[in-house]
């Protein structure tokens, strides 16, 4: 080893280090990191502690994550219970509103025709027999209900009492195929016989004289002819008219005013006395 060249090598190394340091400082200054270097040189422990503190917070957040997730799930469950409770309250309020509207409709119907005495009855069943369309109500012979009494709802005619027990009664609906209700139209005043169409059938008003101009939308009412029903109980509206010149009559399809599938409360007209006019159908004896 040539010792004479050692001082020269040292000088070269020093120059390289100084040049490298100058270049590094220049780069740090241009990138804005020179102050951070000086801060590290002045107080290296602060930088180290700051870095380790950030890593510790990250680790702590990772460890506390499951606890935060559990708390969030509990909060979601609590909010869901509150939503379910509010939905139940809304359903109860809608039910109360529906009952109020039903009672209001019944009250208005009584006020429109105060000449009759009515007894309210709840629908407690529907006859599934295909032979007769009927409902069962919770008033019977012990309550003064008799066979033949007319039944109506807040919207219109329902039918007649078909048979009774002490505490219930069967009501044959006007939609039954054996039903026949003498009817009159509100505008044209044409009369006819309203017949039920049975299960799935339509109400039809037969034997309407051709001289009457029957219009779709006319209201069909009980006429009172035959003495079986009071006058002017709403039945429904005309939805279709067909004329038959050959039969000298016309027929109308009637859309009933009553929704028979959703009946809850009905009226029994207890003071109407049917009039038996069958005696007049027999020829007088000599």
Q: What is the pLDDT at residue 82?
A: 87
pLDDT at 56 over 70: no
- Across residues 6-34, what is the average pLDDT? 65
Distance (Å) of CA 35 to CA 29, 39, 44, 51? 8, 6, 13, 17
Distance CA 154, CA 103 (A): 9
CA-wise closest residue to 175 among 200, 205, 197 = 197
Tokens 């037969």 map to which residue? 206
pLDDT at 83 over 70: yes
pLDDT at 3 over 60: no
Distance CA 136, CA 117 (A): 21
Helices and strands, number each (H, E), in the chain: 3, 12
The string of pLDDT tens digits covering residues 254-264 is 999 999 989 99
pLDDT at 102 over 70: no
Q: What is the pLDDT at residue 128?
A: 73
The string of pLDDT tens digits covering residues 126-146 is 887 777 899 999 999 999 999
Give every CB contact of residue 217 below 8 A, 6+ residues apart in sequence.
237, 238
Distance CA 139, CA 127 (A): 16
The two three-digit tokens of residue 23, written as one number: 């270049």
Crossing angle between the packed helical segments 44-112 and 34-42, to the nearest 10 degrees: 120
161 pLDDT band (50/70/90 cuts)? very high
- Across residues 238-260, what is the average pLDDT? 89
For residue 29, report the phi and psi dihedrals to the nearest 5 degrees: -70, -40
pLDDT at 229 over 80: yes
Percent of the chain with pLDDT over 90: 43
Cα end-to-end distance, the chain, whole Å: 168
pLDDT at 30 over 80: no
- Across residues 168-187, what is the average pLDDT? 94
Percent of the chain with pLDDT over 70: 69
For the chain, the helix, strand and coil percentages under 3-state DSSP, each to the nearest 5: 40, 25, 30
Max Cα-Cα span within the chain? 171
Distance CA 270, CA 145 (A): 7
């Amino acid at each position: 080893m040539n010792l004479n060249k050692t001082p020269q090598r040292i000088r070269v190394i020093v120059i390289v280090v100084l040049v490298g340091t100058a270049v590094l400082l220049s780069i740090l200054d241009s990138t804005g990191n020179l102050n951070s270097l000086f801060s590290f040189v002045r107080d290296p422990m602060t930088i180290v502690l700051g870095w380790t503190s950030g890593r510790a917070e990250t680790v702590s957040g990772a460890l506390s994550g499951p606890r935060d997730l559990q708390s969030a799930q509990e909060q979601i469950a609590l909010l869901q219970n509150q939503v379910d409770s509010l939905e139940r309250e809304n359903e109860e309020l809608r039910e109360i509103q529906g009952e109020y509207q039903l009672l209001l409709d019944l009250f208005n119907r009584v006020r429109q025709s105060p000449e009759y005495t009515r007894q309210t009855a709840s629908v407690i069943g529907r006859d599934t027999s295909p032979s007769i369309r009927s409902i069962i109500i919770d008033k019977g012979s012990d309550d003064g209900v008799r066979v033949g009494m007319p039944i109506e709802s807040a919207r219109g005619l329902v039918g007649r009492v078909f048979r009774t027990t002490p505490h219930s009664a069967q009501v044959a609906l006007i939609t039954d195929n054996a039903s026949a209700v003498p009817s009159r139209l509100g505008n044209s005043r044409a009369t006819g016989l309203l017949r039920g169409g049975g299960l799935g059938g339509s109400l039809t008003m037969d034997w309407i004289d051709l001289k009457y101009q029957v219009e779709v939308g006319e209201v069909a009412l009980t006429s009172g002819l035959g003495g079986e029903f009071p006058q002017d109980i709403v039945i429904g509206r005309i939805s279709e008219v067909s004329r038959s010149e050959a039969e000298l009559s016309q027929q109308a399809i009637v859309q009933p005013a009553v929704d028979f599938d959703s009946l809850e409360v009905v009226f029994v007209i207890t003071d109407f006395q049917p009039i038996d006019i069958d005696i007049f159908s027999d020829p007088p004896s000599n």
